[in-house]
Structure 1
Amino acid sequence: MSESARRSWQRMRALVLDSHDRRPRVVAELGMSFIRIKALRQVARGALTMTELTERLSTDKPYTTLIVDDLEERGLVERTVSPADRRRKIVTITKDGLAVVASAERILNEPPAELLALEPGEQAELDRILAKLAAPSGSTHPGQ
């Protein structure tokens, strides 16, 4: 591993996780734990069975049930029986849940002042490099 790759990774982690971790702010502003916000963000992408949600949250089934119970009580998700298999429950997001997710995304995606202070060309170059890093293997970023 090159020293510059190690330093770059260390700096990206420090920038995102140490200096600008938005999770505490999301929790404070939305009044719920981050795991609940994570669950809402997952369900906002499309309805999930309880098993699928458990897998995506990397939790166990009883804890997922506790999370969904709370979200349901808040009116942020609905749980229904699967028409294909009555033993399965499907979790869908409500209109209020989508509003909470939108608030969370607004906070989480707010660029830090240091990024906004970069010159436009530097911002574009950083975006290009990060898009290249985030692209699945074998694909390219549009415009390259």
Structure 2
Amino acid sequence: MSSPTPPTTTATVPTKAHLIEEFAAIGAAYYQDFAAVAARHGLTSVQAKALAVLVRKPLPMRGLAEQLVCDASNVTGLVDRLELRGLVRREVSATDRRIKTVVATETGRAAISAVRDDMQTTHEALDLLSPDERVVLHELLTRLRPVLEQR
């Protein structure tokens, strides 16, 4: 009795350009879902993005501007509006009293969590993956993230 031959793969390896195109399309679709849901929660897309950044770690105003890819002068008004709603607070830096660090409050953490929980289009896309595929995707994204986040 002969052993079965292993199946051959006919799939071609995607080029980097094809992978970048998929990243771009998925990123754009994710951001549209994120912005639409944020609006239903009374947040602009930039306010929601700021909260998403700040729940990972508190940042000085300048650092938040860099993460949002905007001018530091725009961040003052943004943080003012988030602070009025109790979603963030400013703290004086322990190392330099001139620097204000922006911190997400528990209310802010709950708000961004609610936005992510309500992102049905994104959830439906992820539901297409099996648990094993989700593990693999998570491992791949975790490997890529530090390189893509380098400045």
Both structures adopt the same fold (TM-score exceeding 0.5): yes
Give the TM-score normalised by the residue count of structure 2: 0.69
Amino acid at match of 2:140: L
Q: What is the 5 A alignment of 1:1-144?
A: 4-5=14-15, 10=21, 13-14=24-25, 17-18=28-29, 21-108=32-119, 110-112=122-124, 115-116=126-127, 118=128, 123-136=130-143
Contact 2:39 2:45 in 1 (8 A): no
User: Is there any run of 5+ residues in structure 1 with no aligned partner, and where?
Assistant: 138-144
Displacement of 1:3 in angstroms is 6.9
How many residues of Structure 1 are paired with residues of Structure 2 in the alignment?
131
| Aligned-residue RMSD, C-alpha | 2.9
Displacement of 1:105 in angstroms is 2.0
Contact 2:90 2:100 in 1 (8 A): yes
Amino acid at match of 2:87: L
Identity level (%): 29
Give the TM-score normalised by the residue count of structure 1: 0.71
Give the greater-gyration-radius structure (CA): 2
Contact 1:22 1:107 in 2 (8 A): no
